[in-house]
Amino acid sequence: MEMTRTEALTLALKLAVQAPTQQQSDEALAHARDIAVGMDDHDVDLCKKAAQAAIEYEREHGELV
C-alpha cells in the first residue's frame, strides 16, 4: 500500500523533530520540503499539526505512532 503525500509529509516532519542527529534532522526536513512542493498551505499546516500530535502522543503514552 502506497503512502499519500500528506502521510509522507507528516512522517518526514515527525522524523525531522525526532531524529537523533542534526544531520538526520536536516535530511528529513529536506525530504519534507520536497514533498510539500505543490501542496497547498492548508494541507501542509494539517500535516504539521498531525506530526506534532503524534509526537505528543508518543511522549505521553510511550508508544510509537
For every residue of 1-65, DSSP letters joined together read: -PPPHHHHHHHHHHHHHH-SSHHHHHHHHHHHHHHHTT--HHHHHHHHHHHHHHHHHHHHH----
CA angle 63, 5, 45 (to 5 degrees): 75
pLDDT at 65: 61
| Average pLDDT for 29-47 | 98
| Average pLDDT for 36-53 | 98
Say whether pLDDT at 64 is over 70. no
| Average pLDDT for 17-42 | 98
Query: Which of left, alpha, beta for 37 (phi over 0: left; psi -120 to 50: alpha)?
Result: beta
Please report, rounded to a whole number, the percentage of residues in the chain having pLDDT higher than 90: 91
